[in-house]
């Protein structure tokens, strides 16, 4: 019995290696996507986004405002334009991604204590660029306005400390917990790595099992052990080694991580076997999983909060292992959560594993011969 079991294990390993589709998916694609996907996000935050300035005032304070805008890490004053049509032409040619207009009498109104509004235009089609532009401009105008107001108060005889307390009675210090750089890579990559593991494992099982009859319970168990074992190794590479290589924040305990990873991989394996038996061809399985890939990303709660999704859609998403595994693994790896904090997710993964295993057995059960 034991010899037969290890024989089935060896057959399962060789099946992955000899099947070109499974080998390229479960070995090559997992490594390729895990290494390639983070590359565009390694800079973490937007830096030196070029903006154009239309300075219609030409005063000392307008130049100081422009200097402060340029001093921000996120933006850089790249061009000065004489008027709006010229700045708009630069924007449409993608030479700049934002426009700042300093109106006439800016300094005069500011020193007189009147509102001195400035106009800012940015590309609303790019959320990050629009946010960066707004933040840099807001910081520059707020600091300059506070300095002018403090100067006005001290000129009237108010003590400097009192003047600063009047201008800024409450000082707020913002600390980005679990994402010190406030970067996009630290936010999105830990979740994407989990989705990569899920999708490549499902595709690999589809390549191996779609359209093939079950070889029996011992063979299926050996297959599942090989798949989970292989992807447990990949989980160590993708969720531990690569974050260290890319300097992504990771403070979780590896043992706690595997307490989530192993049930997750069991659930994905059971789901893959069920899908492979429901869809009779490799092409059909791959097409189904490719089409499903983008919805799974959105349903995971990475790009849009799950609390803001329709309740029915959010409930349906729980049949996919990544829906609960992604937030659980993010809590463990990036927030240092313990097992008790993610035990609900672990139980859900075990429940999905059981449910998909039953579905795979029911679908794969040989049909009786028709009556004569």
Residue 193 to residue 200: CA distance in whole angstroms: 11
Is pLDDT larger for residue 163 or for residue 266?
266
Q: Which residues contact 151 (CB under 8 A, 6 or more apart)?
A: none
pLDDT tens for each residue of 115-168: 888 888 888 777 778 888 888 888 888 888 888 888 878 887 777 877 777 777
pLDDT tens for each residue of 52-68: 999 998 899 989 999 99
Is 90 exceeded by the pLDDT of residue 111? Answer: no
Phi-psi region of 182 (alpha: psi -120 to 50; beta: other; left: phi over 0): left
Is 60 exceeded by the pLDDT of residue 96? Answer: yes
175-184, 217-226, 246-255, 289-298: segment of lowest average pLDDT: 175-184
Is 90 exceeded by the pLDDT of residue 280? Answer: no
Is 70 exceeded by the pLDDT of residue 261? Answer: yes
Burial label for 12, CB within 10 Å (0-12, 13-18, 19+), is: buried
Interval 78-92 mean pLDDT: 91
The tokens describing 57, both together, are 């005032």
Q: Which residues contact 303 (CB under 8 A, 6 or more apart)?
A: 188, 297
Each domain of the chain, given as residue ranges in start order, spans 2-41+183-364, 49-167
Interval 173-188 mean pLDDT: 73
Is 80 exceeded by the pLDDT of residue 288? Answer: yes
Per-residue model confidence (pLDDT) at position 372: 37
Per-residue model confidence (pLDDT) at position 255: 93
Q: Which residues contact 37 (CB under 8 A, 6 or more apart)?
A: 189, 192, 196
* Nearest in space to 96 (alpha carbons), one of 78, 75, 74: 78
Per-residue model confidence (pLDDT) at position 364: 63
Contact 338, 314 (CB under 8 A): no
Residue 300 to residue 273: CA distance in whole angstroms: 22
Q: How far apart are the first and last CA of the chain?
A: 38
Burial label for 39, CB within 10 Å (0-12, 13-18, 19+), is: exposed
Contact 204, 26 (CB under 8 A): yes
Class of domain 49-167: alpha beta
Is 70 exceeded by the pLDDT of residue 7? Answer: yes
* Nearest in space to 322 (alpha carbons), one of 243, 237, 260: 260
């Amino acid at each position: 019995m034991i010899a037969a079991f290890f024989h089935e294990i060896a057959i399962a390993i060789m099946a992955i290696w000899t099947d070109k589709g499974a080998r390229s998916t479960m070995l090559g694609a997992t490594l390729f996507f895990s290494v390639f996907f983070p590359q565009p996000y390694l800079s973490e935050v937007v830096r030196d986004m070029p903006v154009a300035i239309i300075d219609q005032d030409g005063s000392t304070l307008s130049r100081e405002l422009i200097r402060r805008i340029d001093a921000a890490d996120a933006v850089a004053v790249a061009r000065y334009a004489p008027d709006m049509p010229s700045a708009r032409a630069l924007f449409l040619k993608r030479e700049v991604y934002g426009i700042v207009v300093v109106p006439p009498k800016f300094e005069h109104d500011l020193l007189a204590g009147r509102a001195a509004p400035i106009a800012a235009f940015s590309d609303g089609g790019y959320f990050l660029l629009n946010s960066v532009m707004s933040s840099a401009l807001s910081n520059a105008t707020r600091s300059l306005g506070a300095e002018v107001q403090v100067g006005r108060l001290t000129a009237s005889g108010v003590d400097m400390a009192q003047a600063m307390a009047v201008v800024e009675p409450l000082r707020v210090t913002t600390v980005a917990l679990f994402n010190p750089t406030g970067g996009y890579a630290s936010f999105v990559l830990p979740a994407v790595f989990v989705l990569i593991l899920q999708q490549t494992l499902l595709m690999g099982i589809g390549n191996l099992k779609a359209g093939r009859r079950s070889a029996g319970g011992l063979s299926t168990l050996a297959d599942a052990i090989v798949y989970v074992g292989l992807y447990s190794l990949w989980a160590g590479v993708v969720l531990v080694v690569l974050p260290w290589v890319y300097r992504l924040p990771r403070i979780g305990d590896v043992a706690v991580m595997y307490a989530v990873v192993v049930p997750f991989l069991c659930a994905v394996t059971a789901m893959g076997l069920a899908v492979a038996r429901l869809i009779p061809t490799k092409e059909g399985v791959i097409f189904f999983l490719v089409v499903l890939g983008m919805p799974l990303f959105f349903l995971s709660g990475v790009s849009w909060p799950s609390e803001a999704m329709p309740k029915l859609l959010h409930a349906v998403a729980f049949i996919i292992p990544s829906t609960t595994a992604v937030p659980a693994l993010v809590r463990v790896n990036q927030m240092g959560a313990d097992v008790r904090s993610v035990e609900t997710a672990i139980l859900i993964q075990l429940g999905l594993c059981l449910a998909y295993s039953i579905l795979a057995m029911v679908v794969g059960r040989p049909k009786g011969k028709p009556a004569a």
